[in-house]
Structure 1
Amino acid sequence: MIKFFGIVGVAALVAGCEPMMDTGPVSQPAVQSQQTNLSASQSARSFLRVVQTVEPVAERECRARTSGINCDFNIVVDDRPDQPANAYQTEDRAGRPVIAFTLALIADARNDDELAFVLGHEASHHIAEHIARQQQNAVAGAVIFAGLATLSGGDATAVETAQRLGAQVGARTYSKDFELEADALGTVITKRAGYDPLRGAEFFTRIPDPGDRFLGTHPPNSSRLDTVRRTVAGM
Protein backbone atom coordinates (compact mmCIF):
# COMPACT_ATOMS: atom_id res chain seq x y z
CA MET A 1 0.00 0.00 0.00
CA ILE A 2 1.25 3.50 -0.83
CA LYS A 3 0.13 6.57 1.05
CA PHE A 4 1.04 10.24 0.89
CA PHE A 5 1.41 11.90 4.25
CA GLY A 6 3.23 14.40 6.40
CA ILE A 7 4.92 12.11 8.90
CA VAL A 8 2.64 11.61 11.92
CA GLY A 9 2.07 8.82 14.38
CA VAL A 10 5.38 7.06 13.86
CA ALA A 11 8.10 6.01 16.27
CA ALA A 12 10.60 8.72 17.18
CA LEU A 13 13.60 6.49 16.58
CA VAL A 14 14.19 5.49 12.98
CA ALA A 15 16.57 3.05 11.41
CA GLY A 16 16.95 5.17 8.38
CA CYS A 17 19.36 6.89 6.08
CA GLU A 18 20.62 10.39 5.86
CA PRO A 19 19.96 12.05 2.49
CA MET A 20 20.89 9.40 -0.05
CA MET A 21 20.27 10.81 -3.49
CA ASP A 22 21.57 14.32 -2.91
CA THR A 23 23.72 15.30 -5.85
CA GLY A 24 27.27 15.83 -4.72
CA PRO A 25 30.86 15.16 -5.64
CA VAL A 26 31.63 11.75 -7.06
CA SER A 27 33.84 10.14 -4.46
CA GLN A 28 34.48 6.82 -6.17
CA PRO A 29 35.53 6.17 -9.77
CA ALA A 30 32.91 3.48 -10.22
CA VAL A 31 30.97 3.23 -13.46
CA GLN A 32 28.13 5.74 -13.44
CA SER A 33 24.78 5.41 -15.08
CA GLN A 34 24.49 7.52 -18.23
CA GLN A 35 20.75 7.86 -17.76
CA THR A 36 19.57 11.27 -16.59
CA ASN A 37 16.81 11.91 -14.10
CA LEU A 38 13.33 10.81 -15.14
CA SER A 39 10.42 13.16 -15.76
CA ALA A 40 7.88 13.62 -12.95
CA SER A 41 5.38 11.25 -14.55
CA GLN A 42 8.08 8.69 -15.31
CA SER A 43 9.33 8.89 -11.71
CA ALA A 44 5.83 8.32 -10.34
CA ARG A 45 5.21 5.31 -12.59
CA SER A 46 8.64 3.92 -11.79
CA PHE A 47 8.04 4.21 -8.04
CA LEU A 48 4.64 2.51 -8.23
CA ARG A 49 6.06 -0.29 -10.38
CA VAL A 50 8.98 -0.89 -8.03
CA VAL A 51 6.81 -0.94 -4.90
CA GLN A 52 4.40 -3.43 -6.43
CA THR A 53 7.29 -5.71 -7.40
CA VAL A 54 9.66 -5.41 -4.43
CA GLU A 55 7.22 -5.23 -1.51
CA PRO A 56 6.01 -8.87 -1.73
CA VAL A 57 9.61 -10.08 -2.06
CA ALA A 58 10.66 -8.09 1.00
CA GLU A 59 7.72 -9.47 2.96
CA ARG A 60 8.62 -13.05 1.99
CA GLU A 61 12.22 -12.48 3.11
CA CYS A 62 10.96 -10.97 6.35
CA ARG A 63 8.74 -13.94 7.14
CA ALA A 64 11.49 -16.40 6.22
CA ARG A 65 14.19 -14.71 8.31
CA THR A 66 12.29 -13.58 11.40
CA SER A 67 9.87 -14.81 13.99
CA GLY A 68 7.27 -12.79 15.84
CA ILE A 69 7.68 -9.47 14.05
CA ASN A 70 5.25 -7.68 11.76
CA CYS A 71 6.21 -8.18 8.10
CA ASP A 72 3.32 -6.19 6.62
CA PHE A 73 5.26 -3.25 5.20
CA ASN A 74 3.49 0.06 4.75
CA ILE A 75 5.20 1.98 1.92
CA VAL A 76 4.50 5.70 2.13
CA VAL A 77 5.53 8.93 0.45
CA ASP A 78 6.71 11.71 2.73
CA ASP A 79 5.21 14.67 0.89
CA ARG A 80 6.26 17.37 3.34
CA PRO A 81 7.66 20.36 1.43
CA ASP A 82 11.41 20.98 1.17
CA GLN A 83 12.42 17.53 2.40
CA PRO A 84 15.79 16.32 1.06
CA ALA A 85 16.21 13.20 -1.03
CA ASN A 86 15.89 10.55 1.65
CA ALA A 87 14.32 7.25 2.63
CA TYR A 88 13.95 5.76 6.08
CA GLN A 89 12.35 2.92 7.98
CA THR A 90 10.36 3.33 11.16
CA GLU A 91 7.32 1.82 12.87
CA ASP A 92 3.87 3.19 13.58
CA ARG A 93 2.28 3.08 17.03
CA ALA A 94 0.88 -0.38 16.32
CA GLY A 95 4.33 -1.74 15.47
CA ARG A 96 3.74 -1.97 11.74
CA PRO A 97 6.91 -1.32 9.71
CA VAL A 98 6.81 1.88 7.68
CA ILE A 99 9.15 2.69 4.80
CA ALA A 100 9.03 6.32 3.70
CA PHE A 101 10.38 7.90 0.52
CA THR A 102 10.57 11.66 0.13
CA LEU A 103 9.38 13.17 -3.12
CA ALA A 104 12.90 14.42 -3.79
CA LEU A 105 14.35 10.91 -3.67
CA ILE A 106 11.74 9.57 -6.06
CA ALA A 107 12.48 12.44 -8.43
CA ASP A 108 16.26 12.00 -8.18
CA ALA A 109 16.29 8.27 -8.94
CA ARG A 110 17.65 7.54 -12.41
CA ASN A 111 16.10 4.10 -12.91
CA ASP A 112 13.95 1.38 -11.34
CA ASP A 113 17.02 -0.43 -10.03
CA GLU A 114 17.96 2.47 -7.76
CA LEU A 115 14.48 2.70 -6.27
CA ALA A 116 14.38 -1.08 -5.83
CA PHE A 117 17.73 -1.08 -4.04
CA VAL A 118 16.65 1.71 -1.68
CA LEU A 119 13.40 -0.10 -0.89
CA GLY A 120 15.25 -3.38 -0.29
CA HIS A 121 17.76 -1.60 1.92
CA GLU A 122 15.11 0.05 4.09
CA ALA A 123 13.10 -3.18 4.38
CA SER A 124 16.30 -4.87 5.55
CA HIS A 125 16.59 -2.46 8.47
CA HIS A 126 13.29 -3.84 9.76
CA ILE A 127 14.10 -7.47 8.99
CA ALA A 128 17.38 -7.15 10.91
CA GLU A 129 15.48 -5.42 13.77
CA HIS A 130 17.84 -2.46 13.74
CA ILE A 131 15.44 -0.15 15.58
CA ALA A 132 15.25 -2.52 18.56
CA ARG A 133 19.01 -3.06 18.52
CA GLN A 134 19.62 0.68 18.28
CA GLN A 135 17.35 1.27 21.26
CA GLN A 136 19.19 -1.39 23.28
CA ASN A 137 22.53 0.21 22.46
CA ALA A 138 21.19 3.62 23.48
CA VAL A 139 20.01 2.29 26.84
CA ALA A 140 23.31 0.55 27.46
CA GLY A 141 25.24 3.71 26.63
CA ALA A 142 23.07 5.81 28.93
CA VAL A 143 23.60 3.38 31.83
CA ILE A 144 27.37 3.23 31.35
CA PHE A 145 27.86 6.98 31.04
CA ALA A 146 25.58 7.70 34.00
CA GLY A 147 27.49 5.19 36.09
CA LEU A 148 30.80 6.82 35.21
CA ALA A 149 29.41 10.25 36.11
CA THR A 150 28.16 8.95 39.44
CA LEU A 151 31.49 7.32 40.27
CA SER A 152 33.32 10.54 39.47
CA GLY A 153 31.16 12.43 41.97
CA GLY A 154 28.89 14.21 39.50
CA ASP A 155 25.69 15.84 40.72
CA ALA A 156 22.22 15.08 39.37
CA THR A 157 22.63 17.49 36.46
CA ALA A 158 25.95 15.93 35.45
CA VAL A 159 24.47 12.44 35.63
CA GLU A 160 21.50 13.47 33.48
CA THR A 161 23.82 15.05 30.90
CA ALA A 162 25.94 11.89 30.88
CA GLN A 163 22.83 9.78 30.30
CA ARG A 164 21.85 11.82 27.24
CA LEU A 165 25.38 11.72 25.85
CA GLY A 166 25.66 7.99 26.52
CA ALA A 167 22.38 7.32 24.73
CA GLN A 168 23.60 9.22 21.68
CA VAL A 169 26.93 7.42 21.65
CA GLY A 170 25.28 4.04 22.20
CA ALA A 171 22.79 4.58 19.38
CA ARG A 172 25.62 5.39 16.97
CA THR A 173 28.02 2.65 18.06
CA TYR A 174 26.96 0.06 15.51
CA SER A 175 25.12 2.28 13.04
CA LYS A 176 27.73 1.73 10.31
CA ASP A 177 27.46 -2.04 10.76
CA PHE A 178 23.67 -1.74 10.52
CA GLU A 179 23.97 0.12 7.21
CA LEU A 180 26.27 -2.53 5.74
CA GLU A 181 23.95 -5.31 6.95
CA ALA A 182 21.04 -3.55 5.26
CA ASP A 183 23.09 -3.11 2.08
CA ALA A 184 23.85 -6.83 1.97
CA LEU A 185 20.30 -8.04 2.60
CA GLY A 186 18.92 -5.25 0.43
CA THR A 187 21.07 -6.58 -2.39
CA VAL A 188 19.46 -10.01 -1.98
CA ILE A 189 15.95 -8.56 -1.98
CA THR A 190 16.68 -6.40 -5.01
CA LYS A 191 18.10 -9.33 -6.96
CA ARG A 192 15.25 -11.67 -6.05
CA ALA A 193 12.74 -9.04 -7.12
CA GLY A 194 14.28 -9.08 -10.59
CA TYR A 195 16.30 -5.87 -10.42
CA ASP A 196 20.03 -5.24 -10.75
CA PRO A 197 21.53 -4.32 -7.35
CA LEU A 198 24.85 -3.30 -8.91
CA ARG A 199 23.10 -0.78 -11.11
CA GLY A 200 20.88 0.19 -8.18
CA ALA A 201 23.86 0.92 -5.94
CA GLU A 202 25.37 3.31 -8.47
CA PHE A 203 23.82 6.21 -6.55
CA PHE A 204 26.67 5.73 -4.06
CA THR A 205 28.89 7.26 -6.77
CA ARG A 206 26.77 10.44 -6.80
CA ILE A 207 26.36 11.27 -3.12
CA PRO A 208 28.90 12.89 -0.77
CA ASP A 209 31.16 10.34 0.87
CA PRO A 210 30.74 10.36 4.69
CA GLY A 211 34.24 8.91 5.04
CA ASP A 212 35.01 6.92 8.17
CA ARG A 213 34.26 9.46 10.87
CA PHE A 214 34.36 8.44 14.51
CA LEU A 215 30.78 7.76 15.62
CA GLY A 216 29.57 8.59 12.13
CA THR A 217 26.23 7.06 11.20
CA HIS A 218 27.14 5.81 7.71
CA PRO A 219 30.16 3.90 6.39
CA PRO A 220 32.30 5.09 3.47
CA ASN A 221 30.67 4.75 0.07
CA SER A 222 33.48 2.44 -1.03
CA SER A 223 32.62 -0.01 1.76
CA ARG A 224 28.99 0.01 0.75
CA LEU A 225 29.77 -0.64 -2.91
CA ASP A 226 32.14 -3.46 -1.92
CA THR A 227 29.39 -5.02 0.21
CA VAL A 228 26.98 -5.00 -2.72
CA ARG A 229 29.56 -6.48 -5.09
CA ARG A 230 30.54 -9.27 -2.66
CA THR A 231 26.90 -10.12 -1.99
CA VAL A 232 26.08 -10.33 -5.70
CA ALA A 233 29.18 -12.48 -6.30
CA GLY A 234 28.05 -14.80 -3.50
CA MET A 235 24.64 -15.25 -5.08
Structure 2
Amino acid sequence: MRITVLLLAPALLLAGCDLPSPVGGGAGEWVLTPEEAAQGFTEVVRAVEPVAERECRRYGTVRNCDFLIAVDPNPRAQPNAFQSVDEQGRPVLTFTASLIGSVHNADELAFVMGHEAAHHIANHLERQRRNSADAAEIFGGLATLTGGGSGDVERAREIGAVVGARSYAKEFELEADKLGTVITWRAGYDPLVGAQFFTRLPDPGDKFLASHPPNKARMDLVASTVRSLGG
Protein backbone atom coordinates (compact mmCIF):
# COMPACT_ATOMS: atom_id res chain seq x y z
CA MET A 1 0.00 0.00 0.00
CA ARG A 2 1.43 3.36 -1.06
CA ILE A 3 -0.16 6.46 0.38
CA THR A 4 0.80 9.82 -1.09
CA VAL A 5 -0.05 13.11 0.58
CA LEU A 6 0.66 16.05 -1.71
CA LEU A 7 1.32 19.62 -0.68
CA LEU A 8 0.02 20.88 -4.01
CA ALA A 9 -3.08 19.56 -5.73
CA PRO A 10 -2.34 18.08 -9.18
CA ALA A 11 -4.07 19.05 -12.40
CA LEU A 12 -7.61 17.80 -11.91
CA LEU A 13 -10.39 16.84 -14.27
CA LEU A 14 -14.13 16.59 -13.65
CA ALA A 15 -14.21 18.23 -10.25
CA GLY A 16 -16.73 16.42 -8.08
CA CYS A 17 -18.59 17.10 -4.87
CA ASP A 18 -17.81 20.39 -3.15
CA LEU A 19 -18.61 20.79 0.53
CA PRO A 20 -20.21 24.07 1.60
CA SER A 21 -18.05 26.11 3.95
CA PRO A 22 -18.71 25.30 7.62
CA VAL A 23 -20.72 27.90 9.48
CA GLY A 24 -18.57 29.88 11.90
CA GLY A 25 -15.21 28.71 10.52
CA GLY A 26 -12.15 29.10 12.70
CA ALA A 27 -9.85 26.51 14.20
CA GLY A 28 -11.49 23.39 15.58
CA GLU A 29 -11.08 21.77 18.97
CA TRP A 30 -8.83 19.04 17.58
CA VAL A 31 -6.21 20.95 15.59
CA LEU A 32 -4.10 23.40 17.58
CA THR A 33 -1.02 23.89 15.43
CA PRO A 34 -0.09 23.31 11.77
CA GLU A 35 2.22 20.49 12.89
CA GLU A 36 -0.55 18.76 14.80
CA ALA A 37 -2.90 19.25 11.84
CA ALA A 38 -0.42 17.62 9.46
CA GLN A 39 0.19 14.70 11.82
CA GLY A 40 -3.51 14.14 12.46
CA PHE A 41 -4.36 14.31 8.78
CA THR A 42 -1.65 11.78 7.91
CA GLU A 43 -2.93 9.36 10.56
CA VAL A 44 -6.47 9.59 9.19
CA VAL A 45 -5.22 9.03 5.64
CA ARG A 46 -3.29 5.93 6.70
CA ALA A 47 -6.40 4.49 8.35
CA VAL A 48 -9.08 5.48 5.82
CA GLU A 49 -7.39 5.14 2.42
CA PRO A 50 -6.80 1.37 2.58
CA VAL A 51 -10.41 0.79 3.61
CA ALA A 52 -11.68 3.03 0.82
CA GLU A 53 -9.54 1.11 -1.67
CA ARG A 54 -10.88 -2.24 -0.45
CA GLU A 55 -14.48 -1.02 -0.70
CA CYS A 56 -13.76 0.35 -4.16
CA ARG A 57 -12.42 -2.97 -5.39
CA ARG A 58 -15.27 -4.85 -3.72
CA TYR A 59 -17.92 -2.74 -5.48
CA GLY A 60 -16.15 -3.06 -8.83
CA THR A 61 -17.93 -0.07 -10.42
CA VAL A 62 -14.75 1.81 -11.40
CA ARG A 63 -11.40 0.67 -12.77
CA ASN A 64 -8.95 2.76 -10.73
CA CYS A 65 -9.11 2.43 -6.94
CA ASP A 66 -5.64 3.84 -6.16
CA PHE A 67 -6.66 6.99 -4.30
CA LEU A 68 -4.34 9.98 -4.27
CA ILE A 69 -4.81 12.31 -1.31
CA ALA A 70 -4.00 15.96 -2.05
CA VAL A 71 -3.82 19.02 0.17
CA ASP A 72 -4.27 22.55 -1.15
CA PRO A 73 -2.13 24.67 1.21
CA ASN A 74 -3.49 28.01 -0.02
CA PRO A 75 -4.41 29.85 3.20
CA ARG A 76 -7.04 31.87 1.33
CA ALA A 77 -8.91 28.81 0.06
CA GLN A 78 -12.25 28.24 1.79
CA PRO A 79 -12.76 25.04 3.83
CA ASN A 80 -13.55 22.45 1.17
CA ALA A 81 -13.04 18.86 0.07
CA PHE A 82 -13.83 17.36 -3.30
CA GLN A 83 -13.30 14.27 -5.42
CA SER A 84 -11.91 14.37 -8.94
CA VAL A 85 -9.69 12.38 -11.29
CA ASP A 86 -6.30 13.29 -12.71
CA GLU A 87 -5.20 13.04 -16.33
CA GLN A 88 -4.33 9.36 -15.88
CA GLY A 89 -7.77 8.58 -14.48
CA ARG A 90 -6.55 8.18 -10.91
CA PRO A 91 -9.07 9.25 -8.24
CA VAL A 92 -7.97 12.30 -6.26
CA LEU A 93 -9.39 13.44 -2.94
CA THR A 94 -8.41 17.08 -2.34
CA PHE A 95 -8.66 18.90 0.99
CA THR A 96 -7.96 22.53 1.65
CA ALA A 97 -5.73 23.29 4.60
CA SER A 98 -8.54 25.40 6.09
CA LEU A 99 -10.90 22.42 6.09
CA ILE A 100 -8.32 20.30 7.89
CA GLY A 101 -8.08 23.10 10.43
CA SER A 102 -11.85 23.42 10.81
CA VAL A 103 -12.71 19.86 11.86
CA HIS A 104 -13.24 19.22 15.57
CA ASN A 105 -11.79 15.71 15.71
CA ALA A 106 -10.33 12.88 13.67
CA ASP A 107 -13.77 11.27 13.29
CA GLU A 108 -15.04 14.27 11.34
CA LEU A 109 -12.02 14.28 9.05
CA ALA A 110 -12.33 10.52 8.50
CA PHE A 111 -16.01 10.90 7.65
CA VAL A 112 -15.37 13.65 5.10
CA MET A 113 -12.62 11.52 3.55
CA GLY A 114 -14.88 8.47 3.40
CA HIS A 115 -17.68 10.54 1.87
CA GLU A 116 -15.47 11.89 -0.90
CA ALA A 117 -14.01 8.45 -1.61
CA ALA A 118 -17.56 7.10 -1.88
CA HIS A 119 -18.32 9.56 -4.68
CA HIS A 120 -15.62 7.89 -6.75
CA ILE A 121 -16.61 4.35 -5.79
CA ALA A 122 -20.22 5.04 -6.85
CA ASN A 123 -18.96 6.54 -10.13
CA HIS A 124 -20.84 9.76 -9.51
CA LEU A 125 -18.73 11.92 -11.82
CA GLU A 126 -19.50 9.79 -14.86
CA ARG A 127 -23.15 9.41 -13.90
CA GLN A 128 -23.42 13.18 -13.48
CA ARG A 129 -21.78 13.71 -16.88
CA ARG A 130 -24.28 11.38 -18.55
CA ASN A 131 -27.24 13.04 -16.82
CA SER A 132 -26.02 16.45 -17.94
CA ALA A 133 -25.51 15.36 -21.56
CA ASP A 134 -28.90 13.61 -21.75
CA ALA A 135 -30.78 16.60 -20.33
CA ALA A 136 -28.96 18.98 -22.68
CA GLU A 137 -30.16 16.91 -25.64
CA ILE A 138 -33.73 16.86 -24.36
CA PHE A 139 -33.88 20.60 -23.70
CA GLY A 140 -32.26 21.35 -27.05
CA GLY A 141 -34.74 19.08 -28.81
CA LEU A 142 -37.69 20.80 -27.15
CA ALA A 143 -36.37 24.20 -28.18
CA THR A 144 -36.06 22.97 -31.76
CA LEU A 145 -39.61 21.60 -31.79
CA THR A 146 -41.01 24.92 -30.59
CA GLY A 147 -39.30 26.76 -33.43
CA GLY A 148 -36.35 28.21 -31.56
CA GLY A 149 -33.38 29.57 -33.46
CA SER A 150 -29.82 28.32 -33.06
CA GLY A 151 -29.19 30.71 -30.17
CA ASP A 152 -32.35 29.58 -28.38
CA VAL A 153 -31.42 25.94 -28.86
CA GLU A 154 -27.93 26.51 -27.50
CA ARG A 155 -29.26 28.35 -24.43
CA ALA A 156 -31.77 25.55 -23.87
CA ARG A 157 -28.97 23.00 -24.05
CA GLU A 158 -26.95 24.96 -21.50
CA ILE A 159 -29.91 25.11 -19.12
CA GLY A 160 -30.56 21.41 -19.64
CA ALA A 161 -26.97 20.56 -18.85
CA VAL A 162 -27.22 22.38 -15.50
CA VAL A 163 -30.58 20.80 -14.65
CA GLY A 164 -29.30 17.36 -15.61
CA ALA A 165 -26.15 17.72 -13.55
CA ARG A 166 -28.19 18.69 -10.48
CA SER A 167 -31.15 16.35 -10.98
CA TYR A 168 -29.63 13.51 -8.96
CA ALA A 169 -27.23 15.58 -6.85
CA LYS A 170 -29.11 14.97 -3.59
CA GLU A 171 -29.37 11.25 -4.33
CA PHE A 172 -25.63 11.09 -5.01
CA GLU A 173 -24.85 12.89 -1.75
CA LEU A 174 -26.97 10.45 0.23
CA GLU A 175 -25.31 7.50 -1.52
CA ALA A 176 -21.92 8.95 -0.59
CA ASP A 177 -23.07 9.51 3.00
CA LYS A 178 -24.15 5.87 3.32
CA LEU A 179 -21.01 4.34 1.83
CA GLY A 180 -18.87 6.97 3.57
CA THR A 181 -20.38 5.83 6.87
CA VAL A 182 -19.33 2.25 6.11
CA ILE A 183 -15.79 3.33 5.21
CA THR A 184 -15.49 5.48 8.33
CA TRP A 185 -16.76 2.65 10.55
CA ARG A 186 -14.47 0.04 9.07
CA ALA A 187 -11.49 2.39 9.35
CA GLY A 188 -12.02 2.50 13.12
CA TYR A 189 -13.70 5.89 13.47
CA ASP A 190 -17.17 6.84 14.72
CA PRO A 191 -19.44 8.00 11.87
CA LEU A 192 -21.98 9.45 14.31
CA VAL A 193 -19.32 11.74 15.72
CA GLY A 194 -17.92 12.38 12.26
CA ALA A 195 -21.30 13.39 10.84
CA GLN A 196 -21.49 16.21 13.39
CA PHE A 197 -19.51 18.10 10.77
CA PHE A 198 -22.87 18.54 9.00
CA THR A 199 -24.26 20.54 11.89
CA ARG A 200 -21.86 23.35 10.97
CA LEU A 201 -22.81 23.40 7.27
CA PRO A 202 -25.50 25.69 5.85
CA ASP A 203 -28.70 23.66 5.66
CA PRO A 204 -30.05 23.66 2.07
CA GLY A 205 -33.42 22.37 3.26
CA ASP A 206 -35.62 21.36 0.35
CA LYS A 207 -34.57 24.08 -2.07
CA PHE A 208 -35.29 23.31 -5.71
CA LEU A 209 -32.17 21.91 -7.44
CA ALA A 210 -30.11 22.27 -4.27
CA SER A 211 -26.94 20.24 -4.63
CA HIS A 212 -27.08 18.80 -1.10
CA PRO A 213 -29.97 17.20 0.83
CA PRO A 214 -31.27 18.58 4.14
CA ASN A 215 -28.81 18.07 6.97
CA LYS A 216 -31.36 16.14 9.05
CA ALA A 217 -31.86 13.61 6.25
CA ARG A 218 -28.12 13.09 6.10
CA MET A 219 -27.78 12.65 9.85
CA ASP A 220 -30.70 10.20 9.92
CA LEU A 221 -29.14 8.13 7.13
CA VAL A 222 -25.82 7.97 8.95
CA ALA A 223 -27.54 6.80 12.13
CA SER A 224 -29.53 4.09 10.34
CA THR A 225 -26.42 2.88 8.53
CA VAL A 226 -24.48 2.64 11.79
CA ARG A 227 -27.31 0.58 13.27
CA SER A 228 -27.14 -1.77 10.27
CA LEU A 229 -23.42 -2.20 10.97
CA GLY A 230 -24.16 -3.24 14.53
CA GLY A 231 -23.40 0.08 16.15
Structures share fold, TM-score greater than 0.5: yes
Q: Displaced runs of 4+ in structure 1, greater than 4 A?
A: none
2:178 is the alignment partner of 1:187: no
Local SS of the residue matching 1:98: strand
1:23 Cα deviation after fit: 2.4
2:89 is the alignment partner of 1:87: no
2:48 is the alignment partner of 1:36: no
**Map 1:38-187 → 2, pairs under 5 A:** 38-40=31-33, 41-187=35-181
Q: Does the Cα contact within 8 Å between 1:46 and 1:111 map onto a contact in 2?
A: no
Find the counterpart in structure 2 of residue 10 from structure 1.
12
Distance 2:61 2:204 in 1: 34
TM-score of the pair, normalised by structure 2? 0.93
**Map 1:21-32 → 2, pairs under 5 A:** 21-23=22-24
Equivalent pairs: percent with the same residue? Answer: 53
Q: Deviation per CA, 1:176-210, whole angstroms, max 9, x where unpaired?
A: 00000000000000000000000000111122211
Q: Does the Cα contact within 8 Å between 2:61 and 2:121 map onto a contact in 1?
A: no
1:2 Cα deviation after fit: 0.5
- Give the alignment's Cα RMSD to 1 decimal: 1.4
Distance 2:112 2:101 in 1: 13
Question: What are structure 1's unaligned runs of at least 5 residues?
Answer: 25-34
TM-score of the pair, normalised by structure 1? 0.91
Q: How many residues are aligned here?
A: 223
Q: Which stretch shifts more, 83-92 or 41-50?
A: 41-50
Q: Does the Cα contact within 8 Å between 1:146 and 1:160 map onto a contact in 2?
A: yes
1:19 Cα deviation after fit: 2.4
Q: Deviation per CA, 1:6-44, whole angstroms, max 9, x where unpaired?
A: x45211x322123253427xxxxxxxxxx7252122222
Higher relative contact order (CA 8 A, sep 6+): 1
Question: What are structure 2's unaligned runs of at least 5 residues?
Answer: none
Local SS of the residue matching 2:7: strand
Distance 1:72 1:125 in 2: 14
